């Protein structure tokens, strides 16, 4: 007589029923877990897409900013060039304009020489003017003016 | 998701715009001065 034959039929049925229930419960849990996994995978894919989209947008924004900064720098450089030119003209007019150092210098040259020497000493010498010019604006125009003054000195 | 580079870029742009505006104001004042509308040469604040 085998062991199986010794277990009563009723117990066997109960055991089978219990096992069937357990299998069904496990299957249910497995299905729920699979559904959850699918849901999480979908969510992950969505997040991945959102991340890529955000990164692409950030990259685009960064490129826009860099391009705008470049344009600003170019505008600034152009503006700087115009301002340098305007400042050079302003400086030129201040120097050669009415009441400017050049006019005073020419007037001094035309005026008869003072004998006392006191007044003479107060007037700036061409070198003083040249030095002041070089200090005030060491750019091209200043150099040109210094050269002009040197020429004037030589002509004297 | 702003990185340090983005913040640096934004700051650099902000400074560049500010300096350009100062430079524009200075250029306008210089032109006005050259046209005789102002008695004193405007100072350049952009270098400060």
Query: Is A37 inside any structural domain?
Result: yes
Query: Is A3 inside any structural domain?
Result: no
Q: What is the pLDDT of residues B1-48, one digit of tens each?
A: 667 788 888 999 999 999 888 888 888 888 888 887 777 888 877 665
Query: Which residues in chain A are closer than 8 Å to B30, comparing Cβ atoms?
Result: 83, 86-87, 90
A7, A9, A11, A16 alpha-carbon torsion, rounded to 10°: 110
How confident is the model at residue A86, as a pLDDT?
82
Query: Which residues in chain A are closer than 8 Å to B5, comparing Cβ atoms?
Result: 62
Q: What is the pLDDT of residues A14-53, one digit of tens each?
A: 999 999 999 999 999 999 999 999 999 999 999 999 999 9
Domain extent at residue A101? 97-156
Question: Measured at the alpha carbon of residue B15, what is the angle toward residues B13 and B19, in degrees to the nearest 5?
Answer: 115
Q: Is there a contact between B6 and A58 if contact means CB atoms under 8 Å apart?
A: yes
Nearest to A88 by CA among A21, A140, A34: A140
The residue among A60, A83, A106 that closes a domain is A83
DSSP state string for A26-95: HHHHHHHHHHHHHHHHHHHHHHHHHHHHHHHHHHHHHHHHHHHHHHHHHHHHHHHHHHHHHHHHHHHHHH
Looking at the partner chain, which of A62, A68, A86 has a beta carbon nearest the beta carbon of B27? Answer: A86
Query: Is A65 inside any structural domain?
Result: yes
How confident is the model at residue A101, as a pLDDT?
85
Q: In chain A, how many domains are there?
A: 2
pLDDT for residue A63 is more than 90: yes
Whether residues A29 and A66 fall in one domain: yes
Question: What are the tokens at A73?
Answer: 């720098």
Contact of A56 with chain B, judged by CB distance below 8 Å, is answered with no
Query: Is A90 inside any structural domain?
Result: no
ipTM attached to this prediction: 0.77
Looking at the partner chain, which of B3, B6, B13 has a beta carbon nearest the beta carbon of A72? Answer: B13
Given a contact cutoff of 8 angstroms between Cβ atoms, the answer to whether A141 and A91 are in contact is yes
């Amino acid at each position: 007589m085998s062991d199986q034959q010794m277990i009563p039929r009723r117990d066997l049925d109960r055991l089978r029923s219990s096992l069937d229930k357990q299998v069904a419960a496990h299957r249910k849990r497995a299905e729920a877990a699979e559904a959850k996994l699918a849901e999480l995978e979908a969510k992950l894919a969505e997040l991945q897409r959102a991340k890529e989209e955000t990164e692409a947008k950030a990259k685009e924004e960064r490129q826009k900013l860099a391009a705008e900064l470049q344009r600003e720098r170019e505008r600034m450089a152009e503006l700087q060039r115009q301002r340098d030119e305007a400042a050079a003209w302003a400086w030129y007019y201040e120097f050669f304009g009415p009441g400017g150092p050049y006019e005073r210098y020419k007037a001094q040259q035309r005026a008869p020489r003072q004998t006392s020497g006191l007044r003479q000493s107060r007037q700036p010498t061409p070198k003083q003017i040249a030095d002041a010019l070089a200090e005030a604006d060491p750019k091209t125009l200043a150099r040109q003016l210094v050269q002009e003054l040197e020429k004037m000195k030589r002509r004297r | 998701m702003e990185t340090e580079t983005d913040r640096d870029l934004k700051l650099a742009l902000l400074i560049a715009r500010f300096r350009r505006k100062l430079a524009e104001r200075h250029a306008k004042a210089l032109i006005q001065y050259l046209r005789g509308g102002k008695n004193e040469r405007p100072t350049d604040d952009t270098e400060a």
